[in-house]
């Protein structure tokens, strides 16, 4: 999954920065998806979620504390940090032509799973099989912190508050920093110059504008946020919750 900080396969340290916003499907990487959406289709999202769910058995066998899944045009990559390890193990597979990342990830998981089961069936213990695969794929020059999810706060807005933002011609980003009350007032004054009845504006639109202004000032007195742990440019797994999270 390529952004301003694409994860590389050459074992170099992965450094994360603020990602460049692109209308690209989080599941298959397809461009030109509809504005406001993160996936090109419901089926595409469901397919990747199913394969990520399939990976949980392997991650549990490895006793993974954290894991990360990313993809480029050439490879799918699954990075794993076990609870008992200080280093990341990288499982990678070259992508087949005209296939979605979810299909290639499934092959990667099944291939690793078959290798693990083969060792167990040949009288090796489960813990030995896991240790062997983890050490076999360990990359000491990848920073373990690179797949530890960041906690990201996101504005929590009601349906009515989202409508108010549109009326005031504000974006979510305008409320993400300090001084959001000032930005709300400034937006109101700007729009009032257009819609005020005294200067020939529409009375109903001005009423809606005034209501939106009051509503958002009330929100600014006690702003609501939700937070989640995730990575910027790839899917992240948290062993404590046994859940995958999409990129921030």
- Would you call 192 helix, strand, or coil by DSSP? helix
Does the model's pTM come out above 0.75?
no
Class of residue 107 by CB neighbours under 10 A (exposed 0-12, middle 13-18, buried 19+): middle
- Would you call 218 helix, strand, or coil by DSSP? helix
- pLDDT for 19: 42
- pLDDT for 18: 40
- pLDDT for 171: 87
- pLDDT for 41: 92
- pLDDT for 227: 63
- pLDDT for 77: 97
Q: How far is CA 50 from each of CA 27, 106, 213, 218, 232, rounded to the nearest angstrom?
A: 11, 9, 43, 41, 21
* Structural domains of the chain ordered from first start: 42-152+228-245 (no CATH), 157-223 (1.10.287)
- pLDDT for 229: 78
Based on DSSP, count helices (H) and strands (E) in the chain, helices before strands: 7, 8
- pLDDT for 177: 67
Q: Is the dihedral of CA 155, 156, 161, 162 positive or negative?
A: positive
| Tally of CB atoms within 10 A around 222 | 6
Could you read off the pLDDT of 111-142 as tens digits, one per residue? 999 999 999 999 999 999 999 999 999 998 99
Which segments in the chain show pLDDT lower than 70?
1-22, 152-153, 177, 226-227
CB neighbour burial string for 123-142, b if at least 16 within 10 angstroms, e if fewer: eeeeeebbbebbeebbeeeb
- pLDDT for 56: 97
Residues with Cβ within 8 Å of 87's Cβ and at least 6 positions away in sequence, in order, are 81, 138, 139, 140, 142, 144
- pLDDT for 36: 75
Which has the closest alpha carbon to 133: 48, 58, 224, 208? Answer: 58
d(CA 68, CA 81): 9
């Amino acid at each position: 999954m390529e952004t301003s900080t694409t994860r590389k396969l050459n074992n170099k340290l992965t450094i994360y920065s603020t990602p460049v916003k692109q209308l690209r499907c989080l599941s298959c990487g397809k461009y030109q998806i509809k504005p406001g959406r993160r996936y090109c289709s419901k089926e595409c999202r469901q397919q990747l979620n199913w394969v990520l769910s399939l990976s949980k058995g392997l991650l549990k066998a490895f006793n993974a504390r954290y894991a990360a899944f990313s993809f480029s045009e050439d490879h799918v990559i699954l990075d794993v940090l076990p609870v008992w390890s200080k280093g990341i193990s990288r499982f990678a597979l070259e992508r087949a032509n005209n296939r979605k990342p979810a299909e290639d990830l499934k092959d990667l998981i099944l291939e690793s799973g078959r290798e693990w089961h083969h060792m167990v069936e040949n009288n090796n213990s489960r813990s030995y099989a896991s240790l062997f695969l983890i050490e076999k794929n360990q990359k000491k020059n990848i920073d373990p912190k690179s797949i530890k999810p960041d906690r990201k706060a996101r504005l929590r807005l009601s349906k009515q508050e989202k409508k108010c933002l549109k009326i005031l011609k504000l974006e979510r980003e305008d409320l993400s920093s300090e001084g959001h009350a000032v930005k709300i007032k400034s937006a109101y004054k700007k729009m009032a110059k257009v819609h005020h009845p005294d200067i020939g504006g529409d009375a109903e639109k001005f009423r809606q504008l005034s209501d939106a202004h009051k509503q958002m000032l009330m929100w600014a007195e006690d702003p609501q946020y939700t937070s989640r742990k995730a990575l910027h440019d790839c899917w992240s797994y948290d062993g404590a919750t046994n859940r995958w999270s999409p990129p921030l």
